[in-house]
Chain A
Amino acid sequence: MIRGERSNKPTDEDLIEQFQNGDLYAFDLIVKRYKNQLLNFVYRFIGNVEEAEDIVQETFLRVYRNRKAYQKVAKFSTWIYTIAGNLAKTELRKRKRRKFFSISDLGYDDKDYDIADEAFNPEKTVDSNIKEEIIHREIQALSPKFREVIVLRDVQQLSYEEISEIVSIPLGTVKSRVNRGRLKLQERLKRLLKS
């Protein structure tokens, strides 16, 4: 973010306020800041890149449309994650329904998507790609209520407090869900986590 490297980089809350006051460039900056992290959140949550990108698009459309609804009492990141999370959950519900009607698999090709860290990183071997694939698959095998908090906590590395607001469940429940989710995952990944 070349522009953002000035010393007084605007906060998300500054940007949404500017956007509320009609500054469309502020909206561009919000998109720039959040598109990739939201993509990763939704992708790990629902498992399919292209659907994830669609949901992120929809998330920004809702931010655009409902910009007046945002109030400074909440952190902007909480607000936008909540929108994305709800859309992802809707997608999962739709998918469940679709299963009744269709047996076609949800194949996709992801050649349009750069895996930023992997593309030019010689440290990452084929081996580690396979590892990631296995971890990804096991995340998908968790039930959504565990998957969501695990992704938010361990992939996105958000605080328990923020997750509690995004998922709108009590802090204690978030913590115990994360704990149980991790134990389930490590149980399934026993072999991979050996050495």
Chain B
Amino acid sequence: MDTCKRFKKLISDFIEGSLSKSDRFEFEKHLEHCEGCHSVLEREKRLIDGLHHLGHLNTSKDFDTVLRTRIRIESGIGRRRLNELVWTWPAKIPVYGMSLALLLIAFVMVFEQIKEQNKPVIPQPYVNTNWHGGNPDQNTFPKTYTETENVIYMIDPLDPQQLGDGSYNETEGTATFGIKSNFGDSLEDKRETSLQSIRQVVY
């Protein structure tokens, strides 16, 4: 009985081969006649094997794009530009054509309080991630992103059709915008009911 208890305590060492010779010998002898310990050992081996072979998940396709975007926002350039953008928004609109060259920023937006049943059809926004080693394949996916009910979209803040007026809070690192229009019809439809604010994630 005592040996059974001791065996359970040391079963991992037994399987992984890290027991002393004498312990090992003792257990091997014990296993010959103790059915209980024998089946515990068999199950343990099968369990470890099963855990080793659990299916492997891959990150979703747009993982890299979202990460790059978040980093871009975090980086100084992103921060400065956002600041500038928000405060000088009206002035930017007339020179929108000229600012095409600046269409480098994709922003990750968290749309708060989108209820599961109100999930809008995801629009195809401008996503232009001009990133070192960037894979163009990864640049076109808006991200459906769930942290409880939040959905993240990639949108282009330089496109005046996508963003309305907003304000930026330096200390909190957040910006709030309205959605203007043309952000995909279905999203526009849902705006009133499901989108109350957009929070810019700046970490």
* Residues on A facing B (Cβ under 8 Å): 24-25, 28, 31, 35-36, 39-40, 43-44, 49-51, 53-54, 56-57, 60-61, 64-65, 108, 112-118, 124, 131-132, 135-136, 150, 154-155, 157, 175-176, 178-179, 182-183, 185-186, 189-190, 193-194
Are the CB atoms of A182 and B47 closer together than 8 Å?
yes
6 further interface pairs, Cβ-Cβ under 8 Å (given A40-B57, A113-B59): A61-B71, A64-B74, A136-B54, A179-B10, A183-B8, A186-B40
From known contacts A61-B203, A116-B56, A135-B54, infer whether A31 and B8 are also in contact, taking CB-CB under 8 Å.
no
Distance of A64 Cα from B72 Cα, bound (Å): 11
Q: Is B67 an interface residue (CB 8 A)?
A: yes
Closest chain A CB from B64 CB (angstroms):
7
Q: Is the CB of A50 within 8 A of B146?
A: yes
Contact with A along B41-73 (1 / 0, CB 8 A): 011101110111011111111011011001100
Contact of B12 among A25, A35, A118, A178 (CB under 8 A): A178
Asked if A40 contacts B56 (CB within 8 A), the reply is yes
B52 touches A113 (CB 8 A): no
Q: What residues of B have a CB within 8 angstroms of the CB of A186 in the complex?
A: 40, 43-44, 47
With contacts A36-B59, A132-B54, A186-B47 taken as known, whether A25 is within 8 angstroms of B145 at the C-beta atoms is no
Contacting residue for A135 out of B13, B50, B57, CB 8 A: B50
Interface residues of B, CB < 8 Å — how many? 38
How far, in Å, is A141 (CB) from chain B's closest CB? 14
Contacting pair B48 A154 (CB below 8 A): yes
Once A154-B51, A155-B52, A185-B47 are accepted as A-B contacts, the answer to whether A54 and B145 lie under 8 Å apart by CB is yes
Of chain B, the residue at the smallest CB distance from A65 is: B74
A112 and B132 CA atoms in complex are apart in Å by: 25
The CA of A129 and the CA of B88, in the complex, are separated in Å by 55
- Shortest distance in angstroms between A130's beta carbon and chain B's nearest beta carbon? 12
